[in-house]
Structure 1
Amino acid sequence: MATPPLLGTLESALYADDLDAAIGFWQDVMGLDCFQHNEGRHAFFRVSNAPRPQVLLVFRAAVTQQPPAADARLPVPPHGATGPGHFCLAVAPDRLDEWRGHLEKAGVTIEADFLWPNGARSIYFRDPAGNSIELADPSIWAG
């Protein structure tokens, strides 16, 4: 039986207890548009529209780990995580120095900045919830 094709990643999720801090970071520091916010539950950010939508979902796990009500209009199954997650955004290699300077100017501590064995570069830092965030030259996965 053949596996049906996939189009790619549509959404990724991180978890944060303080959604206001998450909105401030992802919108003001990272430049993502917060297009949906449900107070105390989630904030959704647009990463890209092309070639298809890509979004970052930031949830409060304490809320989303609860099962939906029996009469829920959107019965999304419970989900959530504890501890730091990881999220990586692709950045053109010639813009990584610009990003590093931008992050440092915003008071973000850089945890690591290195070249992978194939020569591609990654920069690691933390969001306010403690998630490990990476900006990377997409060629880290060139095969």
Structure 2
Amino acid sequence: MMASAPRVRGILETSVYVADLDRAHTFYGGIVGLERMVGGERLFVYDAAPGEALLVFLRGATAEDVPTDGGVIPGHHSEGPGHFAFKVAKSDLDQWRAHFAQAGVPIVSEVTWPAGGVSIYVNDPDGNVVEFAAPALWPNYQE
């Protein structure tokens, strides 16, 4: 019998892949308002919340392993649109709706979940599905 795994402490990073980093920055840095912590030719990293980062990779630029002084970063890539969700306050949903309307970002869908949470879905410029989710959604994401 396998021993129990150590407890995961959260998600440190999540990522999306884009065709144009500057265009993605207009969305994630400008419209969403995230602070860019790292900029480069193949990757931008944004402060999503304390201890949480959004990695925006240039599609096709990360498939090969990258040797560093500290070790090798394994190659990775994705094709087609990805999906991730930002946590937002339920009290801020109307502000997000108005903000997206003012920025010309169409809301693709809005879902009210059985537990009472609400998700607003938009697309980034590369078609990635970006969710802005207010609790309660999952059993571990309550108000």
TM-score scaled by length of structure 2: 0.90
Residue 133 of structure 1 is matched in structure 2 by: 130
Matches of 2:95 and 2:108, distance apart in 1: 16
CA positional deviation for 1:139: 1.2
Matches of 1:29 and 1:61, distance apart in 2: 21
Matches of 2:6 and 2:65, distance apart in 1: 30
Determine whether 1:47 maps to 2:48. Answer: yes
Matches of 1:91 and 1:68, distance apart in 2: 34
Residue 13 of structure 2 is matched in structure 1 by: 11
SS of 2:100's equivalent in the other structure is helix
Residue 120 of structure 1 is matched in structure 2 by: 117
SS of 2:85's equivalent in the other structure is strand
Tell me the amino acid that sits aligned with residue 60 of structure 1. L
Q: Which runs of 5+ in 1 are unaligned?
A: none
Q: Percent identity?
A: 37
Tell me the amino acid that sits aligned with residue 45 of structure 1. Y
Alignment match of 1:64 (pick from 49, 56, 62): 62
Matches of 2:9 and 2:109, distance apart in 1: 31
Tell me the amino acid that sits aligned with residue 122 of structure 2. F
Question: Could you list the per-position Cα deviations for residues 66-98 of structure 1 after superposition, in whole angstroms to 9, with x for gaps in the alignment?
Answer: 2235xx434100001000000100111111111
Matches of 1:79 and 1:138, distance apart in 2: 32
Q: Which runs of 4+ in 1 moved over 4 A?
A: none
Residue 87 of structure 2 is matched in structure 1 by: 90
Structure 1 or 2: more helix by fraction: 1
Aligned-residue RMSD, C-alpha = 1.3
Q: Which runs of 5+ in 2 are unaligned?
A: none
* Aligned residues between the structures: 137
Matches of 1:20 and 1:112, distance apart in 2: 26
CA positional deviation for 1:11: 0.4
Matches of 1:89 and 1:138, distance apart in 2: 11
